[in-house]
Structure formats: structure tokens, C-alpha cells
Amino acid sequence: MAPKNDEQMMKEYQSNERTLLAWIRTGIGIMVFGFVAVKFSLFIKQLPEKFLPDTSVPGSNFSIYLGIGLLIAGALTIILSYFRYMHTVKLLQQGEYQYSTRLLTFITMTLSFLSIALIAYLIAASYD
């Protein structure tokens, strides 16, 4: 493998920075979804019964817990992406970069679990 020139190294660092920014946007998006889930649950609980006379509002706080879980998942995404960014910078400086899917796998599994929980909650709430 030929040594890299300054322009190639600069492109690799910039690519790493773009990846970090993409992960930060993803984390913010996850947090926004969690915030909306919590606020929507509070909104539904505060609606007077005269506006929705023939409906029953689920009494569970599950959507609040799910929203908080999404907020935590978003914050973890941002924090873990920063650590991954710094680790990649170190590896690039040493010329030993190795591709890893651990962060992607962790975030995917966490969001999949929370999504399945939300779907199950919505199905259960529709039968009340």
C-alpha cells in the first residue's frame, strides 16, 4: 500500500467528520421522535372528555416511557458516535483504520426494539 499524501488524508478526515455529523442528525431525529411521543401522550391525557365523548383514552404511561427510551437512544447515538469519531481519527493517524459495524448494529437493534414496542402498544391500545 502506497503512503497517502496530504490531500488523501484530508479527504479521509473530512469523510469521518461528515459521518459524525450524519450520526448527530440521526440522534437528534430519534430524540425529536421521543419528545413527540411524550408530548402526544400528555396531550391525549389532557383532552377534556367532552371533545371525545365516545372514545376511551388508554390509562397506561407506556408511551411516556417509550418516548423517554427514544430520548435516551438519541442521546446515546450522539455520544457513541463521538467516541467512534475520535477512535477513527486515532486509527487514521496511525494508518490502521478498520471498518466496524458495532455502533450501527447497536443503534439498529435498539431502535428496532423500541419500534416493535411502539407497534405493540398501538395495537393493544386500539382494542381498548
Q: What confidence category does residue 121 fall into, taking pLDDT thresholds of 50, 70 and 90?
A: confident
Range of the domain at 38: 7-46+58-126
Left if phi > 0, otherwise alpha if psi is -120 to 50, otherwise beta: which for 100?
beta
> Number of folded domains in the chain?
1
- What is the spatial distance between Cα 18 and Cα 29, in angstroms, rounded to a whole number? 16
pTM above 0.85, yes or no: no
Residue 117 lies inside a defined structural domain of this protein: yes
1 located within any domain: no
Give the pLDDT confidence of 56-96 residue by residue, as tens digits.
655 667 778 888 888 998 999 999 999 999 998 998 888 88
| C-alpha–C-alpha distance, residues 127 and 120, integer Å | 11
Identify whether 53 is part of a domain.
Answer: no
